[in-house]
Amino acid sequence: MSETTTGRVPVTITVNGQPCTREIEPRLLLVEFLRRELGLTGTHIGCDTSFCGACTVILDGDAVKSCTLLAVQADGSEVITVEGLEGEEGLHPLQQAFSEHHGLQCGYCTPGMLMSSLALLAENPDPGIEEIRKRLGGNVCRCTGYQNIIRAVQAAARALREE
């Protein structure tokens, strides 16, 4: 084995309800763990300085940037990715709302946007525009100009409130 792979450490991370155990290099980023080790490629990488938020996932209940975390830091934790949003009977209300309100175009930022929005709605069931801005300020979208993302989040909030 090469010198860069010898120092592997065991980690167990519960991803979308499934405990996953791997031996990994300590320097492996959480986003790479999800994408490379688990094949969950819905979580994207858009920058390298923790700016764009395309890599946002839920870690133990909080939206976090998975490119700014080592997988070993998530050892023993629970992660929810975009792949964990849908169910057998269909899509989560946020996914539906993003589609219905055209809150996405190329789709690259969308998983991160959805996860940040999920964390927002968990804390605020009826967010105003300012609150949405505050919580999605760390997610860049280069296609939509954010107009329809705001609409989609508000529509999803409505749908969730009605349930």
Partner 1 sequence: MYPAPFRYHRPATLEDAMALLARLGDGARPLAGGQSLLPILKLRMDEPTDLVDIARIPGMRHIDGQGESIRIGALATHARIAVSEVASRFPIVQDCATGIADAQVRARGTIGGSVSTADPSCDWPTMLQVLDAEVACRGPRGERVVGIRDFFRDAYTTALEEGELVTEIRFRAPPAGSGGAYLGFKKAAPAYPAATVGVHLGLADGQVCRQARLVLGCAGPRPVQSREAEQELEGKDLNRDNLRRAAEAIISCSDPPSDSRGSAAFKRTMLHSLFMRAAEIAIRRARGETVKGGTLYV
Partner 2 sequence: MEMRFDGEFRIPMPRQEVFELLSDPEKFAPLLPNFHGLERRDERRSNLRVKVGIGKIRAVASTELILEEATAPDTIRYLGKGNVLQGAYQMNAAFHLLEDGDGTLVRWEGVSQLSGRILSIAGGGLRGYAEKEISSVINGLQQALSPEARAAREARPARPAGGWLQRLLQFLFGRREEAAAPVAAEGTAVEPPPLAPHPEELVPIREEAKQRISRVLEVPRGMPAGGRKEDQRLVRGKGLYVDDNQPCGLLHMALVRSPHAHARILGVDTRAAETMPGVVCVLTGEEVAGMTQPFLQIGPEPSANIRDYCLAVEKVLYQGDPVAAVVAETIEQAVDAAQRVEVDYEPLPAVVRCEEALKDEVLLHEHVGTNLTWQGVYEYGDVERAFEEAAHVVRIDHLRFHRFSSTPLETNAVVATWDQRDRLDFIGNTAMTVPLTMIATALGVRMDHIRLRTHDIGGSFGNKINNYPYMTLAALASRKAGGRPVKWVETRSEYMQAGGHGSERDYFDTEVALDENGVITALRSRHVDDCGAYPRYEPLGCVIWSQVLPASYKLRNVRIDFSQVVTNKGPCAPNRGYSRLPHMWFMERVIDICAHELGIEADEMRLRNYIEEFPYTTPNGCVYDSGDLPAMLARAKELIGWDEWKRRQAEARAEGRLIGVGIGTTLDSGTNNFAQSRIINPFLPFSGNSQMANVKLDLDGSVSVSVGSFPQGQGHETTSAQVVAEVLGISPDCIDVKPGFDTERNTHTGTCGTYASQFAVTGLTAVHGAATRLKEQMQRLAAHALEAREEELEFGMGEQGPEVRVAGSDRSINYWALSNLANYNTATLPEELREITLNATYKYTPPFEVPDTGRKYGNLTLTYALQLHIAVVEVDPETCHVRILDYAIVDDCGKVINHMIVAGQVHGATAHGLGAALLETMPYDEAGNVLSGSFTDYAPITINNMPLLKNVNMETPSPFTYSGAKGMGEGGGAPLHTICAALQDALRDRGVVIGNSHNSPMALYDYIRQGGGVKVEVEHRQSA
Q: Please report whether residue 5 would count as binding partner 2 according to CB under 8 A.
A: yes
Q: Which stretch binds partner 1 (CB under 8 A): 33-41, 42-50, 82-90, 95-103?
A: 42-50
Of the candidates 92, 81, 68, the residue with the CA atom closest to the CA atom of residue 13: 81
Nearest-5° Cα angle at 112, 107 to 115: 125
Strand order, beta sheet including 9-15: 18-24, 9-15, 78-80, 56-59, 62-65
Of 65, 69, 109, 127, the residue at the interface with partner 2 (CB under 8 A) is 109
Q: Report the C-alpha gap between 36 and 40 in whole angstroms.
A: 7
Q: Please report whether residue 35 would count as binding partner 1 according to CB under 8 A.
A: no
List the interface residues with partner 1, window 60-119 (CB under 8 A): 62-65, 67-70, 72-73, 75, 116, 119
Residues in the chain: 163
Q: Which does 148 bind (CB under 5 to 8 A by kind): partner 2, partner 1, none?
A: partner 2
**# binding residues, partner 2 (CB under 8 A):** 90
